[in-house]
Amino acid sequence: MHLGLISAMEQEQTGLLALLQSPRRETCGMREYVTGMLGGTRCTCVLSRWGKVAAAATATMLIERFGVTHILFTGVAGAASRGVAVGDIVIASSLVQHDMDASPFFPRFEIPLLGVAQFAADATLSERLARAAQRFVEQDAPTLLSADERSAFSMREARVHHGIIASGDQFIGSQARLDMLREQLPGLLAVEMEGAAVAQVCHEFGLPFGVVRTISDDANEHAPVDFMRFVERVASRYTLGIVTRFCMPG
């Protein structure tokens, strides 16, 4: 396995890069790709930046230029279901581009001329991710944060969920917008800005992929003011913990 690891924000990627053994750097298309070993798994890590185009370009480059055989996208997302809370982990079962609408020519959400609206994540990768995430929340997460930090971010004990993630070129920070998406996409668990773009590229290249997101906000008007601090203090350590357990199941 040669794993492509995409993160959207620098804070999410820092810890991963520090763990990479014998790193080799290469810049192309305004992005730096760092290839090295993570517990016996060959990995290429890259920062996509935010949004669908950025994520799609990055995934394509990972496949075509770096020859990755699998892709994992790690990052943060807004909660889109009542059972999903800040600090929980969502693993995508399938992904949809919520801002794709070529109706009346094609059904809402369907990618024109591809005939797909929801892209299924790879079942084997996702199961392995779920096991890594579950072990992480049971064994590592409780010791990572102090009680004060937990209460500052209004976090309860983390849960791992598996379900639909919707992506679009829009930060969802409105209850009305969120309610509309939930109505249109039954079973929706989280919203973000990249996953379904990586999913489309992987579908087109026949590459297995998985998406794992730590919930950072409720995708409504109360999305935490302290977003960047959450990413640094919580999400980046969650990503690192889950990816480490994924690469070193032990």
Q: Where in 87-106 is the site for ligand SAH (CB under 6 A)? A: none
- Amino acid at residue number 81: S
Among the residues of the chain, which ranges form H helices? 10-19, 52-64, 123-135, 141-144, 147-152, 175-184, 195-205, 227-230, 236-247
Nearest-approach distance from CB 78 to ligand SAH, in angstroms: 3
Among 35-43, 64-72, 137-145, 171-179, which window interacts with ligand SAH (CB under 6 A)? 171-179
Among 37-45, 64-72, 102-110, 166-174, which window interacts with ligand SAH (CB under 6 A)? 166-174
Binding of residue 4 to ligand SAH (CB under 6 A): no
| 206 to 245: interface string for ligand SAH, x by CB under 6 A | ----------xx-x---x---xx-----------------
* 66 vs 171, beta carbon nearer ligand SAH: 171
Q: How far apart are CA 1 and CA 239, in angstroms?
A: 19
Give which of 159, 143, 183, 181 is closest to 90, Cα–Cα.
Answer: 159
Binding of residue 194 to ligand SAH (CB under 6 A): yes
Nearest-approach distance from CB 209 to ligand SAH, in angstroms: 16
Q: How far apart are CA 139 and CA 103, in angstroms?
A: 47
Q: How far apart are CA 66 and CA 26, in angstroms?
A: 10
Q: How many CB atoms lie within 10 A of CB 146?
A: 9
Binding of residue 45 to ligand SAH (CB under 6 A): no
Binding of residue 130 to ligand SAH (CB under 6 A): no
Q: How far apart are CA 133 and CA 242, in angstroms?
A: 5
> Which of 57, 128, 192, 214 touches ligand SAH by CB under 6 A?
192
Binding of residue 153 to ligand SAH (CB under 6 A): no
Locate tokens 């969650």: which residue? Answer: 238
Catalytic residue among 26, 217, 221, 232: 217
> Which of 191, 196, 198, 247 touches ligand SAH by CB under 6 A?
191
Query: Between the CA atoms of 232, 238, 49 and 195, what dihedral angle is there, to the nearest 10 degrees?
Result: -150
Active site residue 10: no
Asked whether 136 and 245 are in contact (CB, 8 A), the reply is yes
* 205 vs 227, beta carbon nearer ligand SAH: 227
Residue 224 falls in which region: left (phi positive, over 0), alpha (psi -120 to 50) or beta: beta
* 50 vs 205, beta carbon nearer ligand SAH: 50
Determine the distance from the C-alpha atom of residue 77 to the mean position of all C-alpha atoms in its chain, rounded to a whole number: 7
Active site residue 110: no
Nearest-approach distance from CB 199 to ligand SAH, in angstroms: 13
Binding of residue 78 to ligand SAH (CB under 6 A): yes
Q: How far apart are CA 231 and CA 229, in angstroms?
A: 5
Active site residues: 12, 217
Interface ranges with ligand SAH (CB under 6 A) = 8, 50, 75-78, 171-173, 191-194, 216-217, 219, 223, 227-228
